[in-house]
Amino acid sequence: MVHVELNLPPIPNYIKDDINKFLDEYLLTWSPTPNDGYREVYGEDEINIVKRKVLVGWENKDLTNFVNSVCPQIKEISLFLLINDSDMPGFMPPHTDFNRELAVNYILETGGDSVETCFFEQVYDPPIIVKEGFIMPRYFNEKNLTKKSSVIFKKDTWVSFDSQNPHCVNNISGKRILISMTMDYNLEGLIKAMPNLIKNEHTSF
């Protein structure tokens, strides 16, 4: 199993409107720091890494209430922005998430029609990188990984995957906005514990 779609209703428009209003204001004043994006991570490789931001501590009460009402097991709701303001396709390199074992994501904005999430075989656990006081996601060089599958996640869908398996995102243009959440399971545990929550299961290619 690589990822699943979850059988949960779309977030109501009045909540999305509220979030978009907040984001428009936030992005007006956001000045990215080095922790929000890099142009080069692997020395000689020139790739356009998107700017990113997890809005820790952000809360929208209506969203919290809605999420609790449709799936009380979901926790730690935050807003995750991936921004590409260049003309080149943007890329979020292969990484494992530092803050969660199971990713539960709601795709608010895809960041383009051909944005692809790729999943790789699990490899050794690289050390946590601390840079300027921040714990960074654990990055991998794609050349050392074996790709298992790729998928274009659609807008307004709920998706879930083991985020301690390396994954990356390709072809981001503009803004990709996710509501980033977690649950106290790994993917296998989730499928076993809450089978009714699973809409579609997807394995490798």
Angle at 173 between CA 90 and CA 19, to 5 degrees: 115
Strand 3-6 with 90-96, pairing: unpaired
Instruction: Verify binding: residue 109, Fe ion, rule CB under 5 A.
Output: no
Instruction: Verify binding: residue 162, Fe ion, rule CB under 5 A.
Output: no
Q: How far is the CB of 155 from Fe ion (least distance, A)?
A: 18
3-state secondary structure of 14: helix
Instruction: Verify binding: residue 5, Fe ion, rule CB under 5 A.
Output: no
Taking CB atoms, the residue at the shortest distance from Fe ion is 97
Q: How far is the CB of 95 from Fe ion (least distance, A)?
A: 6
Q: How far is the CB of 136 from Fe ion (least distance, A)?
A: 12
Residues 6 or more apart whose CB falls under 8 angstroms from that of 33 comprise 132
Tokens of 29: 């004043």
Q: How far is the CB of 65 from Fe ion (least distance, A)?
A: 26
- Pick the closer one to Fe ion by CB: 15 or 176: 176
Name which of residues 74 to 103 contact Fe ion (CB under 5 A): 97
User: Are 107 and 157 in contact, with CB atoms under 8 Å apart?
Assistant: yes
- Pick the closer one to Fe ion by CB: 66 or 119: 119
3-state secondary structure of 61: helix
Site residues (vs Fe ion, CB under 5 A): 97
